[in-house]
Protein backbone atom coordinates (compact mmCIF):
# COMPACT_ATOMS: atom_id res chain seq x y z
CA UNK A 1 0.00 0.00 0.00
CA UNK A 2 1.33 3.46 -0.91
CA UNK A 3 2.21 5.55 2.09
CA UNK A 4 0.01 8.65 2.54
CA UNK A 5 1.83 11.95 2.20
CA UNK A 6 1.36 14.07 5.33
CA UNK A 7 1.96 17.77 5.90
CA UNK A 8 2.50 18.85 9.52
CA UNK A 9 1.67 22.42 10.60
CA UNK A 10 3.55 23.76 13.63
CA UNK A 11 4.14 27.04 15.47
CA UNK A 12 6.72 26.13 18.10
CA UNK A 13 8.53 23.31 19.88
CA UNK A 14 7.30 20.58 17.56
CA UNK A 15 7.60 17.61 19.91
CA UNK A 16 4.43 16.03 18.48
CA UNK A 17 5.76 16.65 14.98
CA UNK A 18 8.97 14.87 16.02
CA UNK A 19 6.94 11.91 17.29
CA UNK A 20 5.21 11.70 13.89
CA UNK A 21 8.55 11.92 12.03
CA UNK A 22 9.98 9.14 14.24
CA UNK A 23 6.95 6.91 13.68
CA UNK A 24 7.04 7.50 9.92
CA UNK A 25 10.67 6.39 9.84
CA UNK A 26 9.42 2.83 10.30
CA UNK A 27 9.00 1.17 6.90
CA UNK A 28 5.65 -0.37 7.84
CA UNK A 29 4.10 2.96 8.91
CA UNK A 30 1.25 3.90 6.52
CA UNK A 31 2.27 7.56 6.17
CA UNK A 32 5.35 9.63 5.41
CA UNK A 33 5.99 13.20 6.53
CA UNK A 34 6.34 15.03 3.22
CA UNK A 35 6.51 18.58 4.56
CA UNK A 36 6.54 20.63 7.77
CA UNK A 37 5.10 24.15 7.56
CA UNK A 38 5.54 26.72 10.34
CA UNK A 39 3.93 30.10 10.72
CA UNK A 40 6.93 31.16 12.83
CA UNK A 41 10.45 31.29 11.36
CA UNK A 42 11.96 30.78 14.83
CA UNK A 43 9.93 27.65 15.66
CA UNK A 44 12.22 25.09 17.27
CA UNK A 45 10.40 22.32 15.41
CA UNK A 46 11.81 23.58 12.09
CA UNK A 47 15.34 22.75 13.27
CA UNK A 48 14.21 19.29 14.34
CA UNK A 49 12.49 18.65 10.99
CA UNK A 50 15.51 19.84 9.01
CA UNK A 51 17.83 17.64 11.06
CA UNK A 52 15.59 14.69 10.19
CA UNK A 53 15.80 15.54 6.50
CA UNK A 54 12.14 16.58 6.20
CA UNK A 55 11.41 19.49 3.82
CA UNK A 56 10.21 22.64 5.61
CA UNK A 57 8.47 25.89 4.69
CA UNK A 58 7.79 29.08 6.63
CA UNK A 59 4.65 31.11 6.03
CA UNK A 60 4.63 34.31 8.04
CA UNK A 61 1.77 36.28 6.49
CA UNK A 62 -0.25 38.00 9.22
CA UNK A 63 -3.38 38.16 7.12
CA UNK A 64 -5.21 34.84 7.50
CA UNK A 65 -6.37 34.49 3.90
CA UNK A 66 -2.84 35.14 2.59
CA UNK A 67 -1.35 32.75 5.16
CA UNK A 68 -3.81 29.96 4.27
CA UNK A 69 -3.33 30.45 0.53
CA UNK A 70 0.44 30.16 0.97
CA UNK A 71 0.10 27.07 3.20
CA UNK A 72 -2.24 25.42 0.70
CA UNK A 73 0.21 26.12 -2.14
CA UNK A 74 3.07 24.51 -0.21
CA UNK A 75 0.90 21.50 0.67
CA UNK A 76 -0.26 21.06 -2.91
CA UNK A 77 3.23 21.34 -4.38
CA UNK A 78 4.32 18.62 -1.93
CA UNK A 79 1.34 16.42 -2.97
CA UNK A 80 0.11 16.28 0.61
CA UNK A 81 -2.97 14.14 1.24
CA UNK A 82 -3.41 14.51 5.01
CA UNK A 83 -2.69 17.60 7.16
CA UNK A 84 -1.76 17.15 10.83
CA UNK A 85 -1.83 20.19 13.13
CA UNK A 86 0.78 19.87 15.86
CA UNK A 87 0.83 22.89 18.14
CA UNK A 88 -0.26 25.15 15.27
CA UNK A 89 -1.48 28.29 17.03
CA UNK A 90 -3.59 29.97 14.34
CA UNK A 91 -7.30 29.33 13.92
CA UNK A 92 -8.05 28.10 10.41
CA UNK A 93 -10.96 29.39 8.31
CA UNK A 94 -14.02 27.34 7.41
CA UNK A 95 -12.82 27.48 3.80
CA UNK A 96 -9.43 25.92 4.65
CA UNK A 97 -11.16 23.29 6.78
CA UNK A 98 -13.51 22.45 3.87
CA UNK A 99 -10.56 22.18 1.46
CA UNK A 100 -9.05 19.48 3.67
CA UNK A 101 -12.34 17.97 4.82
CA UNK A 102 -11.82 14.63 6.64
CA UNK A 103 -8.07 14.90 5.97
CA UNK A 104 -7.24 17.55 8.57
CA UNK A 105 -6.49 16.38 12.12
CA UNK A 106 -5.34 18.01 15.36
CA UNK A 107 -4.01 16.99 18.75
CA UNK A 108 -5.43 18.77 21.78
CA UNK A 109 -4.23 18.42 25.38
CA UNK A 110 -7.50 17.50 27.07
CA UNK A 111 -10.18 14.82 26.98
CA UNK A 112 -12.47 16.71 24.60
CA UNK A 113 -15.21 17.85 24.84
CA UNK A 114 -13.73 18.90 28.21
CA UNK A 115 -11.47 21.98 28.08
CA UNK A 116 -11.33 23.23 24.51
CA UNK A 117 -9.02 26.24 24.05
CA UNK A 118 -5.88 27.11 26.00
CA UNK A 119 -4.55 26.50 29.56
CA UNK A 120 -6.22 23.10 29.67
CA UNK A 121 -4.00 21.68 32.43
CA UNK A 122 -4.49 24.60 34.83
CA UNK A 123 -8.23 24.54 34.22
CA UNK A 124 -8.45 20.79 34.88
CA UNK A 125 -6.55 21.26 38.17
CA UNK A 126 -8.70 24.24 39.20
CA UNK A 127 -11.81 22.08 38.67
CA UNK A 128 -10.43 19.26 40.81
CA UNK A 129 -10.59 16.86 37.84
CA UNK A 130 -9.31 13.37 38.65
CA UNK A 131 -8.59 12.40 35.05
CA UNK A 132 -7.16 14.34 32.15
CA UNK A 133 -5.49 13.51 28.86
CA UNK A 134 -5.33 14.25 25.16
CA UNK A 135 -7.44 13.89 22.05
CA UNK A 136 -6.75 13.56 18.34
CA UNK A 137 -9.74 14.73 16.32
CA UNK A 138 -10.78 15.74 12.84
CA UNK A 139 -10.82 19.52 12.53
CA UNK A 140 -14.09 21.27 11.82
CA UNK A 141 -14.76 25.00 11.58
CA UNK A 142 -15.36 25.17 15.36
CA UNK A 143 -12.21 25.33 17.50
CA UNK A 144 -11.32 22.02 19.23
CA UNK A 145 -14.48 20.30 18.05
CA UNK A 146 -14.97 17.66 15.38
CA UNK A 147 -15.13 13.87 15.49
CA UNK A 148 -12.75 12.22 17.95
CA UNK A 149 -10.29 9.75 16.40
CA UNK A 150 -8.57 8.61 19.60
CA UNK A 151 -7.96 9.66 23.20
CA UNK A 152 -5.48 8.80 25.94
CA UNK A 153 -6.11 9.33 29.63
CA UNK A 154 -3.79 10.12 32.54
CA UNK A 155 -4.60 10.41 36.25
CA UNK A 156 -4.43 13.78 37.99
CA UNK A 157 -2.23 13.26 41.05
CA UNK A 158 -2.21 15.03 44.41
CA UNK A 159 0.24 17.92 44.33
CA UNK A 160 0.21 18.23 40.52
CA UNK A 161 1.17 21.60 39.08
CA UNK A 162 0.00 22.50 35.56
CA UNK A 163 3.56 21.79 34.37
CA UNK A 164 3.66 18.33 35.97
CA UNK A 165 0.28 17.46 34.52
CA UNK A 166 1.26 18.82 31.08
CA UNK A 167 4.40 16.66 31.08
CA UNK A 168 2.38 13.54 31.96
CA UNK A 169 -0.11 14.31 29.17
CA UNK A 170 2.67 15.05 26.66
CA UNK A 171 4.14 11.56 27.08
CA UNK A 172 0.75 10.20 26.01
CA UNK A 173 0.43 12.72 23.15
CA UNK A 174 3.62 11.40 21.62
CA UNK A 175 2.20 7.87 21.59
CA UNK A 176 -1.37 8.81 20.65
CA UNK A 177 -0.68 11.04 17.65
CA UNK A 178 1.33 8.48 15.64
CA UNK A 179 -1.32 5.84 16.40
CA UNK A 180 -4.20 8.12 15.34
CA UNK A 181 -2.45 9.30 12.17
CA UNK A 182 -1.81 5.69 11.21
CA UNK A 183 -5.54 4.97 11.61
CA UNK A 184 -6.47 7.92 9.38
CA UNK A 185 -3.77 7.13 6.79
CA UNK A 186 -4.78 3.48 6.60
CA UNK A 187 -8.36 4.37 5.77
CA UNK A 188 -8.11 7.65 3.80
CA UNK A 189 -9.06 7.06 0.13
Which of 4, 6, 7, 16 is the binder for ligand GRF (CB under 6 A)? 16
Q: Residue 101 or residue 119: which is nearer to ligand GRF going by CB? A: 119
- Calculate Rg over the CA atoms of the chain: 16
The set of long-range contacts for 114-122, using a CB threshold of 8 Å and a minimum separation of 24, is 116/143, 116/144, 116/145, 117/143, 117/144, 119/162, 121/162, 121/163, 121/165, 121/166, 121/169, 122/162
Strands 56-58 and 82-85: unpaired
Q: Work out whether 46 is an interface residue with ligand GRF (CB under 6 A).
A: no
Window 120-159: contact mask with ligand GRF (x via CB under 6 A) = --------------x-------------------------
The residue nearest ligand GRF at its CB is 87
Residue 108 annotated to the active site:
yes
Catalytic residues: 108
Interaction site with ligand GRF (CB under 6 A): 10, 12-17, 86-87, 107-109, 134, 170, 173
Amino acid sequence: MARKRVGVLISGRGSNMAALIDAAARPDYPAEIALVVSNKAEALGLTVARAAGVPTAVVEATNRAAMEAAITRHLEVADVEIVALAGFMRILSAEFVRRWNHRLINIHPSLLPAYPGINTHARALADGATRHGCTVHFVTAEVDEGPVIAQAEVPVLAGDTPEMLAARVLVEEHKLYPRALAMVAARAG
